[in-house]
Amino acid sequence: KCNKKVTFNKNIKLDEVRQALSLFFAFVNVLICTFFAANHAYAQNEVNQWYFGFHAGINFATSPPTTLTNGQISTNEGCAAISNDNGQLLFYTDGIKVWNNEHQVMPNATDLAGNYSATQSAIIVPQPQSNEIYYIFTVDDIAHDGGLQYSIVDMTLDNDKGNVLIK
């Protein structure tokens, strides 16, 4: 039987706790994805660059991996990024906006159906047999009824920087 009393610091703000938990889960997500990526590391350059959190990123094309600070994403939770076969960044998203490889919002790439509070608000999937068309699957948070949605990105548009065709 434990008789130890647990006390809490009342000065901790809820936003600070959320941000700390977000960073913790982002770190765990990176570890899990790194494990799976290491098991399938042959020519999988599409996952070389990750953007997440608050303007943070990691470039796995370098050894050791390097920190990226040029991202525009600002989210506590879900995000996704994809690179081409050579490992060059194509675009990244928080499920609401999509940024191109120059860190500018793509045309027609705002108000996607994701939610900043969804744990995994977006997943990017290339169209089979295509290097130009990508699907962004998004989910709303639990408090809303948006469910699963998708958007289509065509990388041949906007001078090969991409454009969201359907959202």
Indicate whether 107 pLDDT > 90: yes
pLDDT at 64: 92
Percentage of residues in the chain having pLDDT higher than 90: 25
Q: Once rounded to an integer, what is the mean pLDDT over residues 126-149?
A: 81
pLDDT value, residue 161: 94
Sheet strands side by side (includes 49-52): 49-52, 56-59, 66-68
Residue 26 three-state SS: helix
Residues sharing a CB contact under 8 Å with residue 122, sequence separation 6 or more, in sequence order? 78, 79, 80, 93, 94, 95, 112, 114, 136, 137, 138
Q: Which residues pair with 50 in a beta bridge?
A: 58
What is the overall mean pLDDT for the chain? 78
pLDDT per residue over 140-167, tens digit each?
766 566 678 889 999 999 999 999 998 8
* pTM (two decimals): 0.70
Q: Does the pLDDT at position 1 exceed 90? A: no
Pairing of strands 89-93, 163-166: unpaired
